[in-house]
Amino acid sequence: MAGYLSSRKLTNVKGRISYITNEKKQENIIDYHNTTDSEFWKILAKENQERHETVKAGGKCCEARELIIGIPQNSNVTAQQLCDNFKNKYGVECTCAIHQNNKNGIVNRHCHLIFSERQKLNTPEVTEEKRATRTYYYDEKGRKCKKADAVKTVKKGTLLQKGLTRNFADKNEFFKSQKFIYECKELFLNNLLKIEWSFENEKLNKELSEKHIGKNNPKAIYIQQNNELKAIIKDVCKASDFVIAKERGMALKELKKGYNIKDFSAINYEENKHKVYSFVKEMQSLYKSRIKNEIKGYNYINQDVNLLHEEDYTFKPVQAQIISDYESQTKTRNKFKVIEFLKEKLSNMFKRIEKLIDIQNLLYIDPKNRIEIYQDKRNHAIHIKDGSGDYIREKERNEHDFEM
């Protein structure tokens, strides 16, 4: 659920707050915070109901709104951080409870953030009572007319408007918009929870969302096949974006453009299936070439570090050449600073190689064809395991001809 964010309106805000903070009704309440007090929500609910009745809007009154946000299991975000971020941006009071429950082995951590659509006024406004000063007549369109043409009569002294005390400003209509939801996703998912989200990626995810199969659907088998194909596309494109080190969503765009795919509907399943499988093979080949180049590049730099550590005088010319090769990046000829720079570079490269090894399942590489690596403890070089179980060792460094 991490990365999920949705909004809903509340017709009983006091009851909802009571529910999300009730330990008997919630499996596990991790944290709770309120930017105001319970009296605020009581007054807000009362005034919202009064205004709703006055304008005769019909339906149920919306007393407040709620955001439900999925939170990563390893996140340390607090309810106060969530509330403070929201209040600082939108200037309204809010309350938040973080819950966690475990269903079928999946830990579902999420929060309920309830907020007011109205800002509280510094000084309450009193609306005076209004009564009809004379008898008025209205036609069927609600316009004033002569008594003979009237379909509605408002007698003199009739109460037109109750005397009310307003504690809150008008509702912020922005809270009803889709733009508000996108802003909240940017605020919470990207900035606070560090979950990668963008409007463009959300559009791509919707494009590949699996279609629900209703009961006794005659096309169930075709929809199921197409859902499975979409799952493959999502996995392979996710892995491919990382392999080719491009912006998320680029692999899907290249798949559609390169293979002339208009959409992923079930009706186009047979045609799309062959194109997708060809794309998967293409990405598998690209992946293997990329990881071999990454390992080759790592070993070249690792060998440079080993040579720079040599103290024998005969290595001085080689060390001087290595320092010169990296001078444009390091901006120094100090050997020890160059070594530290290259160690940091190796650390980042090794992390990337580990991630590349871990995403082979997303590329649907057959287990017997998956790449395994081994790091030599003597010189820290990385080697690839071949099909026989032996490790292929890279040749010694002789020139900078590898692809980074």
Check pLDDT > 90 for residue 112: yes
Contacts of 91 (CB under 8 A, 6+ apart): 119
What is the predicted pLDDT for the residue at 282? 93
- Confidence band of 367 (pLDDT split at 50, 70, 90): confident
CA-CA distance, 293 to 290, in Å (whole number)?
Answer: 5
Check pLDDT > 80 for residue 104: no
Smallest Cα–Cα separation from 392: which of 376, 404, 377?
Answer: 376
Of the ranges 125-139, 157-171, 192-206, which one carries the lowest mean pLDDT score? 192-206
CA 237 from chain centre, in angstroms, equals 17
CA-CA distance, 390 to 384, in Å (whole number)?
Answer: 8
| Mean pLDDT of the 106-130 span | 86
Contact between 259 and 267 (Cβ < 8 Å): no
| Mean pLDDT of the 194-199 span | 77
Structure tokens at 14: 């006091």
Mean pLDDT of the chain: 86
What is the predicted pLDDT for the residue at 242? 87
What is the predicted pLDDT for the residue at 14? 96
Q: Which amino acid is at 172?
A: N
Contact between 150 and 138 (Cβ < 8 Å): yes
What is the predicted pLDDT for the residue at 297? 94
Sign of CA dihedral 86, 92, 93, 97: negative
Contact between 109 and 2 (Cβ < 8 Å): yes
> What pairs with residue 374 in β-bridges?
383
Check pLDDT > 60 for residue 315: yes
Tokens 């009564």, residue located:
131
pLDDT digits (tens, 9 = 90+) for 356-365: 999 999 999 9
Q: Mark 79-103 as b/e (b = at least 16 C-beta within 10 Å).
A: bebbbbbbeeebebbbbbbbbbeee
What is the predicted pLDDT for the residue at 149? 86
What is the predicted pLDDT for the residue at 394? 45
High-pLDDT (> 70) share of the chain, %: 90
* CA torsion angle 309 315 317 319 (round to 10): -10
Is 102 in a helix, a strand, or coil?
strand
Structure tokens at 301: 């730099």
pLDDT digits (tens, 9 = 90+) for 57-103: 678 999 999 999 999 888 899 999 999 999 999 999 999 999 988 76
CA-CA distance, 331 to 326, in Å (whole number)?
Answer: 8
Helical pair 13-20 and 38-55, crossing angle rounded to 10 deg = 150
Question: Which is more confidently placed, 322 or 368?
Answer: 322
- Give 28's Cβ-side CA count (13 Å radius): 9
CA-CA distance, 64 to 171, in Å (whole number)?
Answer: 10
Smallest Cα–Cα separation from 117: which of 188, 185, 55, 168?
Answer: 168
Q: Which amino acid is at 46?
A: K
Maximum pairwise Cα distance, the chain? 118
Burial class (CB in 10 A: 0-12, 13-18, 19+), 35: middle
Tokens 């999946």, residue located:
106
CA-CA distance, 374 to 393, in Å (whole number)?
Answer: 10
Contacts of 48 (CB under 8 A, 6+ apart): 61, 62, 63, 64, 118
* CA torsion angle 55 57 60 61 (round to 10): -40
Contact between 201 and 248 (Cβ < 8 Å): yes
